Structure 1
Amino acid sequence: MPVKSGLTDYQMTKLYHAGVTDAQIAEMYGISVSAVGARRRRLNLPRKRIAQQVNEALISRWGVIPDKSHHIEHTAKALKTYLRMRLGDSSVSASQRRTTDSWVERLKKRDVVVCYDPERVGGWYYRPRVASDERRVADWPASIPFPSVEFKRALDLPED
């Protein structure tokens, strides 16, 4: 008998497009990874390697991936989409690109970087850019290694 997880097709699709991995969705809803994968395939949502790479990198930065309410915050979605775009994910929609481009322009105009604190309401916030941020869109301390050279480049703001 199937488990009633509360995960709707709409929620599954929304989380998928936010870059949440099958394993993270499974944990959020208390179901198996294979059940999430089966649902994703039934909805014709292909596995997203770049989105997984982005999520794993953000996990390495903040220690844990934000819970499901923090996952869908605008800032989290914009950051993930920006990184997916910079890493060459061709599945990012035109609408996602426009929204993310506007977000990047606001970051540049306000001269801020993205930060995450699980204790804050919403989790995500912005702080003024400091010299050690260089051109990155997100706070990334020197004590935490970058997952790859490509990912480090992806975190940079685009050239003007």
Structure 2
Amino acid sequence: MADLPSNAVLAKLHFSGLSDAQIAKRYGVTRQAVNKRLGLMEISSMPEHRAKAHALVPWDVKTVQYGGGSHHTAYPLEGLKMYLRRLMGDPSLSKRQEADAGRFERKLLKNPGLVLDYDRDSEAGFYWRERTPQDGTLIIAWPLDKEKPAEDLELLEMPSGEKEVQAVPQ
């Protein structure tokens, strides 16, 4: 019996533009099985802005599937995604989501020397750390083993109106 890949791999295949049927054929399962798993991951019919924001997150974020807790709904991650959606002009953001995006942006502006980072093996997962020269002007710590996207990377740059971005010497 064939199995679907991990949630992270499945999400990447979905966001790369493969249809449920194409993914199903690749793994020898039914289209419905793919659709059901994507539905459980709350990404089955993700609107464009939400999908783009999700795709800009470079980390393999821990979900319940892996056991020992989950980070996929952590406040810093949700704030980042709402902030990105607001930058893209997503008209579907609720008032709460707009407020979350605003809080995230205010944190960036108040603390330009910090970047959001992720440690899959820690209990909290997401944390703010001091900016290094390697971070440049990105608002997140981009993993060394991940290729940066060709499109939309500017959304991850410090917002305009920021204080001077200073890296902490190593």
**TM-score above 0.5:** yes
Partner residue of 1:126 out of 125, 128, 141: 128
Per the TM alignment, residue 131 of structure 1 is displaced from its structure 2 partner at its CA by: 3.0
Per the TM alignment, residue 37 of structure 1 is displaced from its structure 2 partner at its CA by: 6.9
CA distance in 2, matches of 1:141, 1:130: 13
Change (3 A) 1:34 1:128: same
In the superposition, the TM-score normalised over structure 1's length comes to 0.63
Change (3 A) 1:101 1:36: same
Q: Aligned partner of 1:67: which letter?
A: T
Percent identity (aligned): 24
Change (3 A) 1:159 1:54: same
Q: Which runs of 4+ in 1 moved over 4 A?
A: 36-39
Per the TM alignment, residue 120 of structure 1 is displaced from its structure 2 partner at its CA by: 0.7
DSSP-derived class of the 1:80 partner: helix
Change (3 A) 1:81 1:134: same
Q: Aligned partner of 1:123: which letter?
A: G
CA distance in 1, matches of 2:118, 2:38: 28
**What is the aligned partner in structure 1 of residue 35 from structure 2?**
34
Change (3 A) 1:116 1:141: closer
DSSP-derived class of the 1:114 partner: strand
The Cα RMSD (Å) is 3.1
DSSP-derived class of the 2:71 partner: helix
**What is the aligned partner in structure 2 of residue 53 from structure 1?**
52
Alpha carbons 2:79, 2:103 under 8 Å: kept: no
Alpha carbons 1:51, 1:84 under 8 Å: kept: yes
Alpha carbons 2:53, 2:85 under 8 Å: kept: yes
Question: C-alpha deviations, 1:64-91, integer Å up to 9, x for none?
Answer: 2331420111011001111222233221
**Number of positions where the alignment pairs a residue of Structure 1 with one of Structure 2:** 125
CA distance in 1, matches of 2:150, 2:45: 24
Q: Aligned partner of 2:109: which letter?
A: K
**What is the aligned partner in structure 2 of residue 116 from structure 1?**
118
Change (3 A) 1:47 1:142: closer
Bigger Rg, structure 1 or 2: 2
Change (3 A) 1:34 1:87: same
DSSP-derived class of the 1:54 partner: helix
In the superposition, the TM-score normalised over structure 2's length comes to 0.60
